[in-house]
Amino acid sequence: MSQFLEYVMLFFGGLILIYMLMVILSYSTMLVFAFFQLRKQYRLDKEEIAEDYIDMIYTKPVSIIVPAYNEEAGVVDSIHSLLSLRYSQTEIIVVNDGSTDLMQEKMISRFQMKSVHKVVREQISTKPILCIYQSDIHPNLWLIEKENGGKADALNVGINFAKYPYFCSIDGDSILEEKSLLRVMKPIIMSNGEVIAAGGNIRIANGIDVQLGAIFQTKLSKNYLVVMQVVEYLRAFLMGRIALSKFNLILIISGAFSVFSKKWVVEVGGYSTQMIGEDMELVVKLHRFLKENKVKKRIEFVSDPVCWTEAPQSFSVLRKQRRRWQQGLIESLWKHKKMTFNPKYGAIGMISFPYFWLVECLGPIIELGGYVYVIIAYFLGQIYYEFALLLTLLFVLYGVIFSAVSILLEAWSMNTYPKLKDVFRLTILSFTEIFWYKPLTLVWRFEGFIQCFLRRKDWGQMQRTGLSKQGLSQ
């Protein structure tokens, strides 16, 4: 029995060790590409580039769609930030997805909105529209009241209503910087139509000072859980998405801030209302459609535009969010599983899908098993102790070093958090990630597996506190 246990321990130890080495190699490669890409951007005069393309953007008007459900705490600030965007032609479409709070009344009162009659062409099937409102003081601001059907259905309603060839989806609790839309549209303009979708950078807004949609001061939240999410976002966006985007391998651009060509989205049937991860599912559908029809187009991530969004401030809400994200990821990968290792789909099938299956999908199970293995191995002693020590060092390299480097890269290239004490605090907290935050998120993502296996649909709803209130209180 002891010999059998020894074989089992050595087998699983070797498996986890190989997996960690593969992940570290992948992340190291992405880090190198991200560094050179950020250095290239750093050398450019971003102000000059933005101004140079303002005239060109006149030919690329954008419909901004804001799906909103019970967003009374932050929707007004979000709309003010959208009205302040430096962009020549936009319309703002807020879609009220059957809210039960005072969001609609608040909008109608604040922006002097009145009911209007307007015919909407249904290119994508959706839940019925109940009423359409237009602002008297901002004629390009619309509010659509509809039956509850979920975020994807609300976005599809906005797409049907939109009159412009490109649309930008943004969450109802998010704040855009004044040039964010200008910069996220830049690759679409410069590519002459080759880029059909682009996603912007997301930053955690908890703690910043927001007044009427304008950001007066960026600072870190006092909530340690929120700060750890800041570290996580920096690592995911600055390192992973920059590198994948460079080779047109990205499968996820954040639903909190992304721009799409309306034509291609309608072609693939819009957002999937039966999928929890509607943002990833849309990107995967687009890639699949383009490859199957042999159309050469690109989907990019743009690191410069920043969208500030509210993050969960409690363990219970964060647990629901991560469980939902993991379930959406699994559902989308499984639905399009035929693309995996399929040369018909090029690098997307041969590189992106295997990476997302191994690292993003199966990663939580393997890494969680690694934590359990380390604990057991320390008690067994002898060779297992050496295995445990080696795995611990790899966990530190994977979970701490990459996070710390991402923080320093952000401070060097974008300077979102200008104060040295904020950078120092982020770096110090990143060293604690593997001891509490990482294990918790692995458990929650593993629960997403269980939810998916049991076929339970739980979209969830994050409780908002409002960014203006946070800025005054933190």
pLDDT tens for each residue of the chain, 474 residues long: 477 777 888 888 888 888 888 888 888 888 888 888 877 776 665 555 555 555 555 568 999 999 999 988 888 888 998 999 988 889 999 999 999 999 999 999 999 999 999 989 999 999 999 999 999 999 999 999 999 999 999 999 999 999 999 999 998 878 888 888 988 998 898 888 899 999 988 888 887 776 666 666 677 888 999 999 998 888 888 778 888 998 999 999 988 899 999 999 999 999 999 988 899 999 999 999 999 999 999 999 988 778 888 889 999 999 999 999 999 999 999 999 999 999 999 999 999 999 999 999 999 999 898 888 888 887 776 667 777 788 888 887 777 888 888 887 777 666 666 577 888 888 888 888 888 999 999 999 999 999 888 887 765 555 555 555 444 333
SS (H, E, C) the chain: CHHHHHHHHHHHHHHHHHHHHHHHHHHHHHHHHHHHHHHHHHHCCHHHHHHHCCCHHHHCCEEEEEEECCCCCCHHHHHHHHHCCCCCCEEEEEEEECCCCCHHHHHHHHCCEEEECCCCCCCCCCCCEEEEEEECCCCCEEEEEECCCCHHHHHHHHHHHCCCCEEEEECCCCEECCCHHHHHCHHHHHCCCCEEEEEEEEEECCCCEEECCEEEECCCCCCHHHHHHHHHHHHHHHHHHHHHHHCCCCCCCCCCEEEEEHHHHHHCCCCCCCCCCHHHHHHHHHHHHHHHCCCCCEEEEEEEEEEEECCCCCHHHHHHHHHHHHHHHHHHHHHCHHHCCCHHHHHHHHHHHHHHHHHHHCHHHHHHHHHHHHHHHHHHCHHHHHHHHHHHHHHHHHHHHHHHHHHHHHHHHCCCCCCHHHHHHHHHHHCCHHHCHHHHHHHHHHHHHHHHHCCCCCCCCCCCCCHHHHHHHC
**459 touches 69 (CB < 8 A):** no
Q: What pTM did the predictor assign?
A: 0.90
At which residue do the structure tokens 């605090």 appear?
425
The pLDDT of residue 462 is 56
